[in-house]
Amino acid sequence: MVKASACGKLMLFGEHAVVYSRPCIVASVDQSMSVILKKRNDDKIILNAPEKNIENYSFPISESSKSHPKEVSFVLMAVSNFFDKYGVRSGLEIKTCSQFSDRFGLGSSSAVTVSAIKGLTELFGIKISKRDLFDLSYKTVIDIQKLGSGFDIASAVYGGVLYFFTGGRVIEPLKIKDLPLVIGYSGVKADTSTLIKKVAGKIKRNPLEINKIFNEIEKIVNLAGIEIEKRNWPKVGELMNLNQNLLKKLGVSTKELDNLIEAALKAGAYGAKLSGAGGGDCMIALADKRKQGQVKKAIEWAGGKVVEAKISTQGVVCIK
């Protein structure tokens, strides 16, 4: 039996632009998704995912690449891709366990994909580099979603705070172990694929304007990487606010997110912005530790839910 765990993520800078050959900055958080794997002596795959209300979902190995319920699609595509790449076959018992709700948008799909593939390599005695783990996990997510930059996969594989370029062309750890962040959930579950398609439609209609926004976001990302390593929080907060204004121009923020962001800023945060695709999910605020209590209260008074999570430097891990 093998257990593999990978952390969720928060996008700090560069949402949407990263899908179009620009960089972003992403951070792992100390909320993890785990996959427990055990070989069987027959040709069945049996999956339990309590957090998805999936119990004893069973099928023969020959159907591992076929269509499955959305709730289990990432794990089962990971199994199928692993079998195809390494030429192995075995019945499996699989169980997923999560420390966080997938409604928060912390990257549960990517974390479970990375955990599944890492666990399978350990179970079958196959050595895999972080780069190869990223590539196979990224392929798996693209097979399901058709779109995506891979930043959340990189975060699950490597951990820490990363400067990331579309498709993993650059994956560079920043020299920082913690950030004074407050996370607020808007109460609305976002649909990442729908939002990516929405922005894609805007690019088709007005490529010059949208690419200008993306170029501005790229400048912010590059400056933010420098200032984060300096721990220059007032400047990082200022850059967060600039990034948020550009995301509003893209049309991916919401009234709920805007209310939480405004409340955090009024309570003394250095900066605040949505985190991820927008359309709901979470916002983040950067605040001096002495002011974090009042920022949290302000977010709750504005209708948000504070998510207790901290930056994690740990990438995917495996216990046999």
Active-site positions read 152
Sign of CA dihedral 278, 150, 227, 310: positive
Q: Residue 289 corresponds to which tokens in the numbers above?
A: 């530790």
> Residue 294 in 3-state DSSP?
helix
Beta strand 282-286 with 271-275 is: antiparallel
| Cross-strand bridge partners of residue 170 | 165
Answer yes or no: are the C-beta atoms of 186 and 304 closer than 8 Å. Answer: yes
Q: Residue 280 corresponds to which tokens in the numbers above?
A: 């709901």
Q: How crowded is residue 92: how many other Cβ atoms within 10 Å of its Cβ?
A: 22
Answer yes or no: are the C-beta atoms of 8 and 31 closer than 8 Å. Answer: yes
HSE-CB for 32 with a 13 A CA cutoff: 21
In 3D space, the residue among 267, 273, 282 whose CA is nearest the CA of residue 248 turns out to be 273
Buried b (16+ CB within 10 A) or exposed e, 40-76: eeeeebbbbbebbebeebeeebeebeeebeebbbbbb
Q: How far is CA 157 from the centre of its chain?
A: 11
Answer yes or no: are the C-beta atoms of 22 and 14 closer than 8 Å. Answer: yes
Strands (E), 21-154: 23-40, 44-49, 54-60, 91-98
